[in-house]
Amino acid sequence: MTDQRKNDTPLPATPRKRVPGARNLVTTGAGVRDAVAACAGRALTTFALAQIAVLQADANNREELPRLDNESDSAPAKPWQTFDNLISDDPEKATTAPVTIATEVKMGCAVLLVAVADLANHRKKLPPADPLGPLGQAAWREANVVRLMTAATARMRHLLRRDPLCRDLDYPMVFRQKFEAIVASKAYVDPGADQVARLFVDFLKALAWYAGVHAYEGEHLTLNAVTFYSFLASLAAVVPEEDEPVVRDVLSLVQDQVGQWSAARAQAAAAKKRPAPKRAPARAAAKPKAPPKRDPARPEAAQAAETPPPASKAGFTPAPMAGAPLDAGEDPELDEEEADEDEAVETAGGAPAGVAVAPDLDYDALELELDAY
- Among 138-152, 159-173, 306-320, 322-336, the range scoring the smallest mean pLDDT is 322-336
Look at residue 5 and tell me if it is in a domain. no
Look at residue 312 and tell me if it is in a domain. no
Neighbours of 268 (CB within 10 A): 9
Look at residue 364 and tell me if it is in a domain. no
- Among 106-110, 191-195, 258-262, 339-343, the range scoring the smallest mean pLDDT is 339-343
Average pLDDT for 132-147? 95
Look at residue 205 and tell me if it is in a domain. yes
Look at residue 256 and tell me if it is in a domain. yes
Average pLDDT for 16-37? 94
Look at residue 188 and tell me if it is in a domain. yes
- Does residue 80 contact residue 95 with C-beta atoms inside 8 Å? yes
pLDDT averaged over every residue in the chain: 83
> Is 56 a residue whose pLDDT tops 60?
yes
Instruction: Give the model's confidence band at 348: pLDDT under 50 very low, under 70 low, under 90 confident, else very high.
Output: very low
- Among 61-70, 125-134, 275-284, the range scoring the smallest mean pLDDT is 275-284
Q: What is the pTM of this model?
A: 0.72
> Is 40 a residue whose pLDDT tops 50?
yes
> Which pLDDT score, from 0 to 100, does residue 218 have?
94
Residue 223: beta bridge partners? 101
Most confident of 9-18, 68-77, 225-234: 225-234
The residue ranking higher by pLDDT, 298 or 239, is: 239
Look at residue 59 and tell me if it is in a domain. yes
> Which pLDDT score, from 0 to 100, does residue 54 have?
97
- Does residue 204 contact residue 232 with C-beta atoms inside 8 Å? no
Instruction: Give the model's confidence band at 121: pLDDT under 50 very low, under 70 low, under 90 confident, else very high.
Output: very high
CA distances from 291 to 168, 241, 323, 326 (A): 89, 101, 20, 21
* Rounded CA separation 68/85 (Å): 14
SS3 of residue 101 by DSSP: strand
Domain that holds residue 249: 30-268
Instruction: Give the model's confidence band at 179: pLDDT under 50 very low, under 70 low, under 90 confident, else very high.
Output: very high
Domains of the chain: total: 1
Look at residue 336 and tell me if it is in a domain. no
